[in-house]
Amino acid sequence: MICNRCGSRVPDESKYCMFCGNRVSKIQYYNDDNESDNKSLGSYYLDADFKGDGPKYKKTAGLLGVFLGAFGIHRFYLGYTGIGIAQIVVSLITCTLGGAIWGFIEGLCILCDTGITTDADGNDLV
């Protein structure tokens, strides 16, 4: 299959392009052949399941959580603004200690695939 964003060849069983991170899916359509009355079943690859601005990266979110977790930067990066604001409030109340511990643990969980696995739009982290 071909990625419709970067044009790279992607294995048929892949959900993501290994070069640009685009989420791809296979949909089928009926090919209208104007020269004959036959309609043949063809395939078209589209990132129809993808929502949002672009793929979010697991390593980026994890490292933001580890180093800047007290400010909820990793949550803002993933689109969870409400929880990001809550982390800032907790940091202000606890003089950054509570928010820093919370963000550090979340960052490690993201990096280890045991925590957040999707962004706010429901897309898997790449």
83 to each of 70, 88, 90, how far by Cα in Å?
A: 12, 9, 10
Reported confidence tier of residue 32, pLDDT bands at 50, 70, 90 = low
Write out the two tokens for 92.
């202000």
Task: Round to whole Å and give the CA distance between 95 and 118.
Answer: 29
The answer, yes or no, to whether residue 2 has pLDDT greater than 90, is no
CA atoms within 13 A on the CB side of 43: 8
Q: Are 44 and 27 in contact (CB under 8 A)?
A: yes
Reported confidence tier of residue 61, pLDDT bands at 50, 70, 90 = very high
What is the reported pLDDT for 78? 94
Weakest-pLDDT range from 6-10, 78-82, 91-95: 6-10
The answer, yes or no, to whether residue 16 has pLDDT greater than 80, is no
The answer, yes or no, to whether residue 93 has pLDDT greater than 90, is yes
Residue type, 123: N
Write out the two tokens for 126.
């790449």
Strand locations in 34-98, DSSP E? 39-46
